[in-house]
Amino acid sequence: MEEIVFGLDIGTTKICALVGEVRQGRLQIIGMGIEAARGMRKGVVMDVNETSIAVAKAIEQAEQTSGYNLSQALVSMAGEHVSSSNNRGAVAIGRNDTGVTTEDIGRALDAAQSIAVPQNRQIIHLIPRSYAIDDQEGIRNPLGMHGFKLEVETHIVTAATPAVLNLAKCIDNVGIQAHEFVLNALASGEAVLEPNEREMGVIVADIGGGTTDIALYMQGTVWHTKVIPVGGYHITNDIAIGLRAPYDIAEQVKIQHGDCRPAQIDPNFLFTVEPFGGEKIQVGRQDLAYVIEARTEEIFQLILQEIRRSGYDGLLPAGIVLTGGTAQLRGITEIAERVLNVPARVARPKNVVGMVENLNSPAYATGIGLLNWAMDEHESFRPRPNNGLWSRRMSNFLRALLPG
């Protein structure tokens, strides 16, 4: 029996709705909807109605291509309001012959999340890092082991409740329930990381439009996360200011001519740009590269500061794995290696089957990762054959929002 999973990546610059079918443990993409984001800034909803319209359009495309109407989705989460901390929980192990039970593990996790969370924040993730039984530490799976005291060390991700509610409102407006929110970097890690990288020590950096989302993995699990409020938008904005050109033209210039390595660019290479005012000008590609290099270096300096703050500087032999749309910048791995002094690679989603022609890109790592996350949880998203209900529902919603 097939299982249908639905992931909704709501980013600063684009919204990606993906529907996957799981058969015998394999994921196949059967539905896809891509729409330019509206009403978002640095991963946070700024206009509920505008974002709802964009979400509705992306979901409509995904519904039509998959042939299903869905009621639940795993939804990506970003924004500077996201923060993380580590905490331990300890409980007595039940006196029985079976050793540690799932109930014991659950009680330990409950104890770990008994932290002082302000009223305006809520826990998004509670991730076990390692377990200890009595004096034996570094245990990954304590189930069935014997002892008197079970301890768990956890990584806890929290988010501002208003930001979560606003994001949930945008989805609820179009008849979809947020089954779970997943931090962007964790979703991307599901799509691009290799098991040996997680073991050795690696950091994944999803460099999106408005934010750079990072997650540090060691010993097979997450040890640290952070959302940095700088991304590809800021590079494009620098170009727009420098050229005195509209943002969309600056974005085209970045994609077509952008490079992070000015020393490797022919100083005589010129291209034409039409800035504000309409009179075309000649721009040196090397000059453009200097602008891009400066902002890209800043992003990696901020990542380096966060690695040092986490205390894991020098403990990442697998280096950094770059994903997200901005990871496609030419020469970005060279900047990463120079600033961080670790190996760097740009990663595309792996093991993608089905509608792959548009998804085999770092820009869609979060969307693919959401489906992998759902598949690992073995959650059913209650599919219904598409009988036109969704289209009518979305049309009614759009008519209510759009001006007459």
The average pLDDT across 305-319 equals 93
Element (H, E) at 182: strand 177-183
> Crossing angle of helices 247-257/232-243, nearest 10°?
110
Mean of the per-residue pLDDT values of the chain: 90
The average pLDDT across 71-82 equals 94
**Confidence tier at 27 by pLDDT (50, 70, 90):** confident
Give pLDDT, residue 385: 45
Domains delineated in the chain = 3-80+162-186+349-401 (3.30.420.40), 83-160 (3.30.1490.110), 221-346 (3.30.420.40)
Q: Where is average pLDDT lowest: 27-41, 145-159, 289-303, 371-385? A: 371-385
Q: Where is average pLDDT lowest: 17-26, 263-272, 316-325? A: 17-26
Give pLDDT, residue 383: 41
Write the pLDDT tens digit of every residue in 338-348: 999 999 999 99
> Is the separation of the CB atoms in 142 and 131 below 8 Å?
yes
Give pLDDT, residue 380: 38
**Confidence tier at 377 by pLDDT (50, 70, 90):** low
Write the pLDDT tens digit of every residue in 77-136: 999 999 999 999 999 997 778 899 999 999 999 999 988 889 999 999 999 999 999 989
> Is the separation of the CB atoms in 304 and 340 below 8 Å?
yes
**Confidence tier at 354 by pLDDT (50, 70, 90):** confident
Beta strands in 233-314 (DSSP E): 270-273, 281-284
CA distance 234 to 131: 41
Provide the token pair at 105: 């593990």
The average pLDDT across 134-145 equals 92
- Best CA proximity match to 60, nearest among 385, 394, 402, 383: 394
User: Is the model's pLDDT at 364 over the cut of 50?
Assistant: yes
CA distance 367 to 364: 5
Q: Between these two residues, 200 and 379, which has the higher pLDDT value?
A: 200
- Best CA proximity match to 153, nearest among 173, 133, 127: 127
- Best CA proximity match to 287, nearest among 247, 253, 332: 253
**27: CB partners within 8 A, 6+ apart:** 5, 20, 21, 351, 353, 371, 372, 375
CA distance 284 to 262: 10
Give pLDDT, residue 357: 67
- SS3 of residue 56 by DSSP: helix
Residue at token pair 């969307």: 367
User: Is the model's pLDDT at 379 over the cut of 60?
Assistant: no
Give pLDDT, residue 350: 86
First to last CA, the chain: 45
Write the pLDDT tens digit of every residue in 239-262: 999 999 999 999 999 999 999 999
Element (H, E) at 88: strand 83-92
Write the pLDDT tens digit of every residue in 55-64: 999 999 999 9
User: Is the model's pLDDT at 71 over the cut of 90?
Assistant: no
The CA-atom distances, in angstroms, between 327 and each of 192, 284, 322, 361, 394 are 13, 23, 6, 10, 34
- SS3 of residue 27 by DSSP: strand
CA distance 145 to 100: 5
Strands 72-77, 177-183: parallel, antiparallel or unpaired by DSSP? parallel
Give pLDDT, residue 399: 47
User: Is the model's pLDDT at 381 over the cut of 80?
Assistant: no
CA distance 23 to 299: 40
CA distance 27 to 19: 10
- SS3 of residue 203 by DSSP: strand
**Confidence tier at 382 by pLDDT (50, 70, 90):** very low
Write the pLDDT tens digit of every residue in 156-212: 999 999 999 999 999 999 999 999 999 999 999 999 999 999 999 999 999 999 999
